[in-house]
């Protein structure tokens, strides 16, 4: 199993969409929300993704195609 930490930045039109839920269901990726800030017009979430590397890569590609910005994160984001 691989683990990866990423930050999703959501545009206003995707705030209400269940993208993280769908990612976990469609790509067999376990999502662990480490930090988040979501309002009516913007939002970001730092996630740990765990699963097979190919599933994580396919899931990230799907999220990006939906219009979410995905950036890598390093370090323990809860402690900061």
What is the dotted CATH code of the domain comprising 2-72? 3.30.70.260
Q: Please tell me which residue, 76 or 58, carries the higher pLDDT value.
A: 58
H or E stretch including 20? helix 19-27
26-61-38 Cα angle (round to 5): 80
Instruction: Please state, in angstroms and rounded to a whole number, the distance separating the CA atoms of residues 61 and 75.
Output: 23
> For the chain, which residues make up each domain, given as ranges?
2-72
Q: What are the pLDDT digits (tens) for 5-44? A: 999 999 999 998 999 999 999 999 999 999 999 998 889 9
Query: Is the pLDDT confidence value at 56 over 90?
Result: yes
What pTM was estimated for this model as a whole? 0.88
Task: Please give the average per-residue pLDDT across 40-62, as a whole number.
Answer: 95
H or E stretch including 35? strand 30-38
């Amino acid at each position: 199993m691989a683990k990866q930490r990423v930050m999703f930045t959501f545009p206003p039109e995707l705030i209400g969409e269940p993208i993280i839920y769908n990612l976990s269901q469609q790509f067999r990726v376990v999502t662990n929300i480490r930090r988040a800030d979501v309002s009516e017009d913007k939002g970001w979430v730092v996630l740990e993704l765990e699963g097979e590397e190919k599933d994580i890569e396919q899931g990230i590609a799907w999220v990006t195609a939906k219009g979410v910005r995905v950036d890598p994160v390093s370090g323990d984001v809860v402690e900061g």
